[in-house]
Amino acid sequence: MDSKALYRFSLFVSGEGLLAKKAIFNCKKYLDIFLQSNYDMEIIDVLQYPKLAIDENIIALPILKRKNPLPEISIVGDMSNLELFKSDLLMN
């Protein structure tokens, strides 16, 4: 993780299926567009790390959580809705 990044995200996915791949691709694309290199995103496969999903109260997948800056904000889905992504995660 880049300790200098102003934005920190955790993306929770389940395995390597189409939905997980789409969410990863879309998150990286949008974050690169809006934040350039000023972010850090951790990708967590809940099949490999189920305790993290429990600790984070994950109830739907994929889910992207903005950890920093506060407040923590989450959106669920394949992250294909650019306006939702931008307004909910980056403008709050």
Return the residue matching tokens 């972010």: 39
21 Ramachandran zone, left/alpha/beta (phi>0; psi -120 to 50)? alpha
Strand partners, 73: 66
Architecture of domain 7-90: 3-Layer(aba) Sandwich (3.40)
Q: Count of alpha carbons within 13 Å of 39, Cβ hemisphere only?
A: 24
Q: What is the pLDDT of residue 14?
A: 97
Q: What is the pLDDT of residue 2?
A: 53
Pairing state between β 63-68 and 73-76? antiparallel
Model confidence, pTM: 0.90
Vertex 43: Cα angle to 16 and 22 (nearest 5): 45
Along the 92 residues of the chain, how does pLDDT read in single tens digits?
A: 555 668 999 999 999 999 999 999 999 999 999 999 899 999 999 999 999 999 999 999 999 999 999 999 999 999 999 888 888 887 76
